[in-house]
Chains A and B, each alone.
Chain A
Amino acid sequence: MSALFANPVLVVAVTLCGTALLGILFLIHNHLRPARLRDSIDWKRVQAFRGDTYRPLVRLLSGNDYEFLRRLPGYEPAIANQLRRERRRIQRRFLNRLEMDFTQLHLVARTLVRDQEQDRPELVLALVRTGAEFRLNLFRIRLGLALEPLGLPALTPRPADSERLVDAAIWMQAQIKFLYAPAAVPVAG
């Protein structure tokens, strides 16, 4: 018995770790209950989604406006900095909304793959890859926005980054169409 108390730190650490992991498992169990999963798609959000909302995001991510501003008479760097600050705030809001919408749409796509009558390993992989690429791209844009005041050109968000977000949406649309109407021909990803 005394051996049990010889290393109390180890015993407490392993016990706490085990309790935490069992707690996480309990939460996963609750989350996986069928009733919870059926409610997890936010149809209100999916239905309220409007593509027009994201038109300004692509423009905001491109640097065209700053170049235009620089050519105007009376241009001062302070004006561009002020504009950048305001735009970063707006861009973050757009990205947050786009992320929430994409999360819901991607969830619907995953649900459709799950409910397929035929084995679709290539779609599963592509869906996982697209979701991961979207997240990575979103992270890079957010990181770029956060570090923009430091003026590091390598991290500044470029239009190409927004293009990748668009590609993810295009791919997903094609696959969802294909999954929902199997007779249709999917667009190559």
Chain B
Amino acid sequence: MPTFRADMIVAISSYVEWANVVVCLALAYRMLRIGLIPRYPALAVFLLMSPLLLAISQFLPRNTNLYAQVYFTLIPLQWGLYFALAYEAYRRVLEEHTGLASAGRWLVSAGMALSLAVTALSLTAELGAAHQRFPILLGIHTAERAIDTALTLLLAILLGFTLYFPVLLRRNSLLLVTGLTAFFLSKSLILLLRNLLGPETAQVFSLGNQLVNLAVVSVWMARLVRPESDRESGPRASVPREHAEQMLRQLGALNQVLLRGNGR
């Protein structure tokens, strides 16, 4: 029974992996057609990287030095790409709000420091785990989990900032930032489980990762719109003059009343 289940997961993983490639390539093509690539270049590279990784895993012989060399070269590149994606999300979120530009930069710096500190604390879970068969692989997955957690926290802080101010986001930018947060959050939790439960669960958690990737890219595929349509949903002045003037009169009245009451 367990063998059957494992086989089934391998088969499903294979289908999901190919579905991922198809959806990623289709979205990259769609982005090219509707002119979204100049606005989201990191996302386009991310979408093209998925088929590349699949090709390597399918056509390079496993358990060879060549496979390991290619894998260890691509992994840091992928992590760099994750940071580029997060930076792209930050830029798209705050690009049209000049009044918040410096505050946004401070937020990212402070958010990065905070998320790194929280992530470092969370790594005690892996460091305290039982010894595993493949320590180098565990080290790589732990590093990846740390990066995913840090980026999740950073994007969550960015979302908190946009809620507080309240930043009006274009539809595509909102989809990008929430999609990336969901992506990194899911990956981070899946990797945490994989690291704690050991390499025997790698297959099932790899399937989980693939499903998350497929879900997020499918939502982007279905919901991203042309830049022209996106512009219509973008920020507009949202405090009409008559409302603001009335509000100022009322605030003035409030202050006078309170000052009189306070004897100032």
Contacts and interface: CB of A to CB of B under 8 A. Distances in A.
Pair from one complex: yes
Contacts of B197: 3-4, 6-7, 10-11
A176 B251 contact: yes
Contacts of B255: 51, 166, 169-170, 173
A108 B189 contact: no
Given A124-B100, A166-B258, A169-B258, A4 B204 contact: yes
B35 interface: no
Interface in B210-247: 233-239, 243-247
B121 interface: no
B252 interface: yes
Nearest to B156: A25
A49 to B, nearest CB: 5
A46 B243 contact: yes
Interface in B162-190: 162-171, 174, 178, 181-182, 185-186, 189
Contact of B171 (A34, A38, A105): A34
Nearest to A107: B166
A114 B99 CA distance: 5
B201 interface: yes
A124 B107 CA distance: 11
A112 interface: yes
A176 B248 contact: yes
A113 B244 contact: no
Contacts of A10: 193, 196-197
A1 B5 contact: yes
B163 A31 contact: yes
Interface string B121-157: 0000000000000000000000000000000000000
Contacts of B165: 110-111, 113-114
A127 to B, nearest CB: 9
Given A17-B189, A22-B182, A159 B262 contact: yes
SS class, residues of chain A in contact with chain B? helix
B185 A1 contact: no
What class of interface size applies to chain A in its complex with B?
A: 35 or more
B250 A11 contact: no
Contacts of A49: 247, 250, 254
A25 B182 contact: yes
A102 to B, nearest CB: 10
A2 B166 contact: no
Nearest to B197: A3
A160 to B, nearest CB: 10
Contacts of A176: 244, 247-248, 251
A34 B233 contact: yes
A52 to B, nearest CB: 6
Interface string A30-72: 0111100110110100110111101111110000000000000
Instruction: Give the interface centre of A17, A38, A115, A166 by most chain B CB atoms within 10 Å.
Output: A115
Interface string A149-182: 0000000000100110110011011001100100
B178 A180 contact: no
B101 interface: yes
A54 B159 CA distance: 34
Nearest 5 interchain pairs by C-beta? A116-B99, A51-B254, A58-B261, A51-B253, A121-B102
Interface of A: 1-4, 6-7, 10-11, 14-15, 17-18, 21-22, 25-26, 28-29, 31-34, 37-38, 40-41, 43, 46-47, 49-52, 54-59, 105, 107-108, 110-121, 123-125, 128, 159, 162-163, 165-166, 169-170, 172-173, 176-177, 180
19 contacts: A3-B197, A3-B201, A14-B189, A14-B192, A37-B168, A40-B166, A46-B247, A50-B250, A51-B252, A51-B256, A51-B257, A52-B253, A108-B239, A113-B100, A119-B99, A159-B262, A169-B251, A173-B251, A177-B248
